[in-house]
Amino acid sequence: MSGKLDVRVCKLGEKNQTEELRELIRNTSIKELTTTLKAKLSRSDCINFWNYLLLACDTNNAETREKRFACVRCFLDGLRTVEMSYKLSVDLITRLHQDLPTYSSDELNWMLEHCVDDMRAGDAKCVAWKDLLPETLLVLIAKPRLVINGIAMAGNELRDSTVRNLCTMRWPTTILTPIADMFIMLKLSNAERVTVLNKFSGALQELSPMELPALCYQLFSMCNSAAQLIIPLLALEKYFYRNYYKRLFSDMCSNSTDFDSIDAYSDKELREAEETVLHHLNYCTMYLLSEQHVAIMLRNFLHMPDAILTPFMLSAIISMTAVNRDPESARSSSCILLPFLRNVIKHNEDERTLADYSVWCRDTLQRQPVDLLQVFTVLIDQNKDGKDVITPGLVNLAFTLLKAHNSPKLNTMAITFLTKFIRRRFMFGQGIIKRIAEWMVVDQEQNQFSECLTMLSVADTYTVSECLETITTVMEDFLWLPDEQSMRMMNFILPLLKLSNRVRDALIDVLRKAMTKDFRTRRMAIFGFCMILKQLNNSNSVRQSQNASSFCTQHNISGYSMMTQSSLGNRSNPQRNFDMLTLEIIGILRSCFDQQLDIRRTLYENLQRAVELNAKLVPHVLQFVDFHLRSFFDTPPADEVGDDLDTRFAINYDQLLGSKEEQVELKDNLGCLVQFVSHCLTVFERAPSGCDVREMQRLLTLCTQRVVANRLHLEDTSPPATHIKCARIQQELNLIEALISHSILCSKPNNDAIKQILPLFKQHQKLLKALKSLADSSKKTQKNFKQSTANDSTVNVSVSTAKLKQMCTQPENIWDLAILEKLLHLLHDDLVPFASADNTTQLRSYEPLVRYVLEITAQKVHAIRDEPDYKQLSYSKRTLKLVTDITKVIYERCIRRLPDLWRNFDLESASLAAKCFMECVRTAHETYAKRFKEFVKGFDMATINKSKEVTYVLQSVLDQYMKEDASNNESAEALSDDRHGAKLPVFLLEALEILYDHIGYGERAAIDSYTWLLEFCQTWELRNPAMGVLHRILFAQRQKTHSGPFFDAIARQLGQVLGTQNDDNENPQSNYGLKTLDMNTTGTCLQYMYAVVQKQLEDVDYFIIKANNMKYKCSIVPESDRLYYRGNLETLEGSICTQLILITRTLLELTNVCIPLGSHMDGLMKLLIQLYTCLKNLARHYLAGYTTDASNGKSIKFEQLLKNVGKPLPANIYQLISYVEYNILDDQSKEPATKRKPQAERAKVLRETRLIPKVILAIENFNKHIILLSKKAKTNDRLANYLHFGAVRDFNIQSGDLKAVIERTYSHSSQIEVSDSNIEAVEDEEEEEQQQEQQKLDSDDERSSVGYPINDDDDDDEEEQQPQPSKKQQDTTRKAQRRRRAPSNDAEESLPKRRRGRPAKK
């Protein structure tokens, strides 16, 4: 029967016989209908029967409606038990949707409850409810009035109740994706959507990686704003970190891997799921959210690097950038999210720095900074394995970091990333290198682009060498770029020369063109040719081009044609290619001998460097320079005469100097040339072949003998001073220096070359003194010239005394670090390998030589920091080794024995040794910061010798210095009284400061350094104000190793030294008793303390912003995580309040000190403004998002902070303002009226008081926010009671003093002459007016207890009723105010007067 029923229903429905169909349904029982429906549910043609069955039901007939609802119930119940395809179930439910408005409220409510029951069941195969429930709910909402389970309600109330119940029920994990799909169709409000997303964020943590992408697609589709999108992103970040990245980072940090562990999911499944999630994220947000929307939301995480700088979050943010979605057309400069990520990365590096220097910052951060190199390594590995979703965005992020200005850490991070990325994904190398090369040429002021190309060239030479077109374009730009820019860019070509002959030949062609350009371009060409010579070898010297024009120079030198040279066999000349190319380049450089002095010196310097690195060049270079060297000496050849002192020998100064139009023309520097040849001869002696150097050695020997025997004609040093005379003496000085270098370089234990050094140096000193005497004579000439020009205006002097003074007093020394290192060994080591002990004894005992070498060494080491970038000294291992060796000699032979040096040898030499050591340490710190520990290990053998480390040695030397200085304090032999002895401890302290900076906070030496510094300051008094740097070091080490109160005690001791404004406010607590803190060092100590407090306030500001970010995160994380983040937030807020309490106590003490007016007082005012700005930001943090059930504003530490800052500090500030005003007026009243300058006095008043209104405004803003917070927290309105409301709300103007100043101004402007008696009368009148005004203000202060401005009308009425105080009371009040004075001195040399008694009480 059932089979016949469904057939009849389908036939009638197909024939559109509606009335017959309805009649059939009316005549059929409910049981028969339900039985037939159950039988048809599992069949594919059930949809036709279901459609015609619903069409046959007449909605106007109650019986038919009952049968229809029975069929619907049967259908919905059957969905639970009958297995059918997903498409069929969707079709059946969709057909049911069409008739939902015709059902009654009770029937719709039953369907709704049925769907909810199915959700609770959690059957993944039965999910039809996800489509039925939203449609049913929408129909119910449209009904104006409903009665559900006997309760009357509106449709919206039912909808809100249903959504609320759905959000509170437990969601089975197996049906999370259908639930998300259902919520999408429910048209939720923003608040409901946030609630739903939070619930999903907590539920998805239990899903498997295979189930995650589908749910994420639904969640991303549900979000319609960036603020909602961040909720699932944070949950996904937690999911992937917990299941994958946590274990991955642990394995990267450890040396072993636990292969026995069994994880719930495989790494492959997790990575595939992550890549699919990122694809869905990009798809769902491409047209919905712009970068600006995402950036506005993400700024709430700007100071939370731990939340953003994770592999998943970085990938998610990068996937939403325009440069990642459309890398071809999108411009990276218009991207918003990449600069945001750059700022987050910068904050992460700043937090790393904060953790290194401050205990409070380290404890407040609550975590370790993110290791970005690890994160980038993970992203590169994933990208290599096929995760290409974010490749364009990732590369552009590296470009953004590379282009950051004044951020060397970010630039280094980008260079490291690009180096690793190109190694793994070399197919992207050419595009990356082309882009960087373009930026390098366009933005020439930035050095990071050339540095990046250099590092890429060193790390992946083959990939860079393939970019021939880009390299050729850059080399062509060398012809018009500035010379230093071109030389800096040229460094990235250096590693390519060994591999690519095409690159080398192209560079040679460009440099040959540059040799015909202007002066600066020729310097660049010389640098480039010498750079080629450094890398030249027989294996890489074959020319690719056979064009005859490119070998024209070599053809002229060799005398053979190219065909003949190419046909020569390799056996007869194994170095044929090397020799040919070397001769070609040297032939091009030969033209430099006819050019300017700077060109020649550039040639000598770079050729010397090339010879040191490539010894094969020596024969060719010596032949190249042989004839040029001989041209400067006038002497017969060796085969014509014998070598004795009577042989004719002279120097051709005409080839070195010339004069043109009364100006000196410097053609060459013979000293530089001789020193260059000496270095070449030293290298040649290792393999003496290929060149005859006897004549050059003979010339240098003859020159040395003539100078030693004083048989060489030197310039006359008698006045007057001229340019040509000073220049010639400078040439002679450099020549003697070069001869000393030659003697050192050719010295051996079996010869006596070292004996020539001392007589040569004495001649050098003689010339140097003569040069200084010429400088003195030039000063006298200038003075006489000024006197003569007063009488005769037609006199003309052709000599520029300023230039003469510079030439005479600052002669240039040509020694390099290699020569200085050998000299230091000679002067300080007992045994040297290149000289006998007998020859070095006399040198070590000659004090002027020791002092001069130490001074020049300090200058040369300091000059390393000023060298141009193109020299790449920061990457030079040779320079670092020389600096390390020099430091080792000075440390072992001088610093460790410094007390014996100043006692038994020379105090000036000891001071210069300390200066040289400090310069070495500072140069290593600034130039080789990354290798500083390697530098220290190179000269400090404490680990090997098991002796004291360098910091302990310096501390011991300083202790001995202070003991001897204290013991000789009363005698005339005190070390600190000597000009050089006073500088010695300052140099040691500066070196100690740098060494302390590189000691980690976890090392024992850090604690010991602070202990020693504190004990040193408590033990010794400083007679030298320059040693005030000790306090800066003490403050830095205190913050690195300790927390808690410290600086308030220092401020209290400053009050004891400078005096206090109010003795009643003195804190009875004891201070640290620093003897180093006296009148000599208070100025520097104040500045150092200001810098420390300012940095502390900046750190607190940073952490307040971080607390704001954390508060926002607490509002969007799931309920399960909210308690954890709230606990972290409360801990952070408590730490901020604690630090502000300590800062407030310090400023409370400082505002009670009689600080000198001027920069010191301005610094204090700026600190007060910064403090109240920081306090205002903290109040705004508590005020933002305040809820009555939250703990905002109820923090005990916050209330304690308000107690400290609310009343005591403002009271001191108002007292400080009065102190400033009284001292300004008191200083002005001391001068006679006739000598006063009203304009200068007015400018001084404005200058000293310009920050006072800003301080008052900052206090008022803070009070305003506290009042708002007190009103918002109705149960906590006591906060406002902590505030201080002063009587004076704006400027504290003394009307009597103001009137007197105005009268004096008018009197001065009209130039009225006043006699002495009249002056005294005027001053008496002014004093009486001031006393009356002070009486009025005192009465106003007594009446103003509320703290608001006083009404002038009321004041006048009350003043009439007040009894006038006696003259004695007025005098007492005025004297008490004048007692609080300090001199205003812009030079900060004078200090305030101490108070001599307590202020008079009213």
Give residue 943's pLDDT.
78
The rounded distance, in Å, linking the Cα atoms of 768 and 692 is 36
Cβ neighbours of residue 761 closer than 8 Å, sequence gap 6 or more: 736, 740, 846, 848, 849, 852
Cβ neighbours of residue 358 closer than 8 Å, sequence gap 6 or more: 1039, 1040, 1099
The proportion of the chain whose per-residue pLDDT surpasses 90, expressed as a percent, equals 40
Give residue 542's pLDDT.
74
User: Residue 665 has which token pair?
Assistant: 């023309």
Lowest mean pLDDT among 106-115, 485-494, 776-785, 810-819: 776-785
- pLDDT band for position 1241 (cuts 50, 70, 90): low
Lowest mean pLDDT among 98-107, 215-224, 987-996, 1383-1392: 1383-1392
Query: What are the Cα distances from residue 190, in Å, to 130, 196, 228, 288, 888?
Result: 21, 10, 8, 16, 70
Q: ω before 1363 within 30° of 0 (cis)? A: no
User: Residue 225 has which token pair?
Assistant: 């704003």
User: Residue 1270 has which token pair?
Assistant: 């007190």
- pLDDT band for position 1333 (cuts 50, 70, 90): low
pTM score, two decimals? 0.85
Other Cβ atoms within 10 Å of 422 Cβ, number:
22
Cβ neighbours of residue 230 closer than 8 Å, sequence gap 6 or more: 297, 298, 1116
Average pLDDT, stretch 119-139?
85
Give residue 9's pLDDT.
83
The rounded distance, in Å, linking the Cα atoms of 742 and 745 is 5
pLDDT at 125 over 50: yes
pLDDT at 823 over 50: yes
Give residue 1190's pLDDT.
45
- pLDDT band for position 318 (cuts 50, 70, 90): very high
Give residue 39's pLDDT.
85
Lowest mean pLDDT among 494-508, 528-542, 543-557, 1063-1077: 543-557
Higher pLDDT, 1304 or 563: 1304
The rounded distance, in Å, linking the Cα atoms of 649 and 713 is 9
Cβ neighbours of residue 705 closer than 8 Å, sequence gap 6 or more: 645, 711
pLDDT at 1236 over 70: no
Instruction: Return the SS3 of 153.
Output: strand
pLDDT at 19 over 60: yes
Instruction: Return the SS3 of 127.
Output: coil
Question: Quick one: DSSP state of residue 799?
Answer: S
Question: Quick one: DSSP state of residue 605?
Answer: H
Give bridge partners of residue 651 from the DSSP assignment.
Answer: 633
pLDDT at 153 over 50: yes
pLDDT at 768 over 50: yes
Instruction: State which of 80-89, 464-473, 719-728 shows the largest mean pLDDT.
Output: 464-473
Instruction: State which of 548-557, 806-815, 1316-1325 shows the largest mean pLDDT.
Output: 806-815
**Which ranges in 226-321 belong to alpha helices (H)?**
226-240, 246-253, 267-285, 291-298, 305-308, 311-319
Higher pLDDT, 1042 or 150: 1042
Residues 1192, 1198, 1199: CA angle, nearest 5 degrees: 105
Give residue 1237's pLDDT.
65
Give residue 1191's pLDDT.
47
Q: What is the DSSP string of 25-82?
A: HHTS-HHHHHHHHHHHTTSTTHHHHHHHHHHT--TT-HHHHHHHHHHHHHHHHHHHHS
Give residue 309's pLDDT.
94
Average pLDDT, stretch 106-115?
88
User: Residue 714 has which token pair?
Assistant: 């030197």
Question: Quick one: DSSP state of residue 1157?
Answer: B
pLDDT at 166 over 50: yes
pLDDT at 1330 over 60: no
Lowest mean pLDDT among 494-508, 869-883, 884-898, 1311-1325: 1311-1325
Higher pLDDT, 1065 or 500: 500
Other Cβ atoms within 10 Å of 503 Cβ, number:
21
pLDDT per residue as tens digits for the range 1195-1219: 788 888 888 887 888 888 888 888 8
Average pLDDT, stretch 1249-1259?
88
301, 1114 contact by CB (below 8 A) = no
Comparing C-alpha atoms, which of 792, 657, 649, 791 is closest to residue 711?
649
Give residue 1263's pLDDT.
87
User: Residue 841 has which token pair?
Assistant: 């004894």
Comparing C-alpha atoms, which of 699, 732, 730, 726 is closest to residue 713?
732
pLDDT at 560 over 50: no
Other Cβ atoms within 10 Å of 771 Cβ, number:
23
Average pLDDT, stretch 63-73?
87
Instruction: Return the SS3 of 1072.
Output: coil
Instruction: State which of 44-53, 97-106, 1106-1115, 1312-1321 shows the largest mean pLDDT.
Output: 1106-1115
Average pLDDT, stretch 310-317?
94
Look over the chain and give the mean of its residue pLDDT values, rounded to a whole number.
Answer: 82
Residue keyed to tokens 């995580």: 1121
The rounded distance, in Å, linking the Cα atoms of 298 and 230 is 8
Give residue 1334's pLDDT.
52
- pLDDT band for position 1357 (cuts 50, 70, 90): very low
Q: Residue 526: what residue type?
A: I
**Rg (alpha carbons) of the chain, rounded to whole number:** 44
Higher pLDDT, 203 or 146: 203
339, 402 contact by CB (below 8 A) = no
SS (H, E, C) 730-760: HHHHHHHHHHHHHHHHCCCCCCCHHHHHHHH
Give residue 1187's pLDDT.
57
- pLDDT band for position 559 (cuts 50, 70, 90): very low
CA atoms within 13 A on the CB side of 1044: 2
pLDDT per residue as tens digits for the range 1024-1083: 889 999 999 999 999 999 988 999 999 999 998 988 887 765 565 667 889 999 898 999
User: Residue 66 has which token pair?
Assistant: 């009952």
Question: Quick one: DSSP state of residue 832?
Answer: B
Give residue 421's pLDDT.
92
912, 854 contact by CB (below 8 A) = yes
User: Residue 119 has which token pair?
Assistant: 């959700």
Average pLDDT, stretch 517-521?
89
pLDDT at 1228 over 80: no
The rounded distance, in Å, linking the Cα atoms of 1273 and 17 is 74
365, 358 contact by CB (below 8 A) = no
User: Residue 742 has which token pair?
Assistant: 């030659």
Give residue 839's pLDDT.
83
Give residue 1371's pLDDT.
46
Average pLDDT, stretch 634-663?
77
Average pLDDT, stretch 83-108?
86
Residue keyed to tokens 């000024």: 786
